[in-house]
Each structure stands twice: as structure tokens, then as C-alpha cells.
Amino acid sequence: MEFETSEAKKPRCSRDKTPKLSRKERRLMSAMERVAKPGDGTDFKRKYQEHDKLGSGGFGSVFAGVRIADMLPVAIKHIRRKSVDFVSQIIGDELYTIPYEVLLMTKAAPDAEIGLNPSVSLLEWFSVKDEIILIMERPFPALNFYEYVSDMRRFQKDV
């Protein structure tokens, strides 16, 4: 991943050719390195238990689940590989091909820690045969966007 540097961020020493990255850029770089390589089906089955279906649609299907290591509630999203847009991304010194959704979620919430981001955090992802599996935090209680808008309309009518 390449970043533009401002004049103020140029190396101080002529021997140092590496541009100084801001804290935000370092966090994003670290997050991108974390998601660059997907796990496989064996890792998924070993790390997670899948439970009830939360929803489905053109995007795939989302299930409730838990991370076995600490029983953390997660959302598990299955997307058919043929429905996934991939993007090539330079991370460190290597070129990776990752799902566009993984890139966007990582940029929106670079800290894969529960509750630290305004958006739902992507914890990890897996590439399994004909599908991509995204593991995301599952905040509780939570509403989908439609429920939230409906609740806000009712609230505004009551006020």
C-alpha cells in the first residue's frame, strides 16, 4: 500500500529513504497486513461455531456464531466467490488480491478490536472453495439499518 507524503513528512536524514508514516497510516498498514492472507476452511471450522441464520440476500447469508477460543459472539458472512469483487493491493512489499469488501471494512475499522470502531470490525476472513467467509464482530444489542430507521421515525412521531 503506498501513501502520499506531505513536505513535512519527508525524511529528516538524507540517508533515510523511508518516508515517515503518520500514526493513522501505520495503523492502516498494520491492519492491511493482518487481513492480507485469508485463512482456509480447516482454520474456520477449528476456530468458529456457526449457529442460527441472521439474514440472507443478494450479498450472501449471515449467521450468528461464536469464536471458540473465548466464546466471543461473531457474525459469520458467507458470500459466493462468483459474487465477490477482488482488488489487488500492495501490502508491505508484496502484491495481494483481496475481496473489495475486506479492503473497505479494514479501512473503515482498522483496529480489529471489539467495540473500538463506529462500524462493525472485520476480525478475519477465510477463502474456502466456492465462497469467501467474513468473520465480524456482533454487537449486542444491535439493529439492522432498516430497523434503526423505522425506530427513529416512530421516535420522531412521538416527540
How many CB atoms neighbour CB 41 within 10 A? Answer: 13
d(CA 15, CA 22): 20
Is 77 annotated for ligand binding?
yes
* For residues 8-34, average pLDDT: 64
Q: Is the pTM of this model over 0.75?
A: no
E strand or H helix at 46, and its extent? helix 41-47
Q: DSSP assignment of 15-35, as one string? A: T--SPPPPHHHHHHHHHHHHH
Express each pLDDT in 46-104 by its tens digit. Answer: 999 999 999 888 889 999 999 999 999 999 999 999 999 988 888 778 888 889 888 88
Domains and CATH numbers, the chain: 7-158 (3.30.200.20)
Rounded to a whole number of angstroms, the distance between the first and last alpha carbons of the chain is 48
With contact defined as beta carbons under 8 Å apart, do 41 and 126 qualify? yes
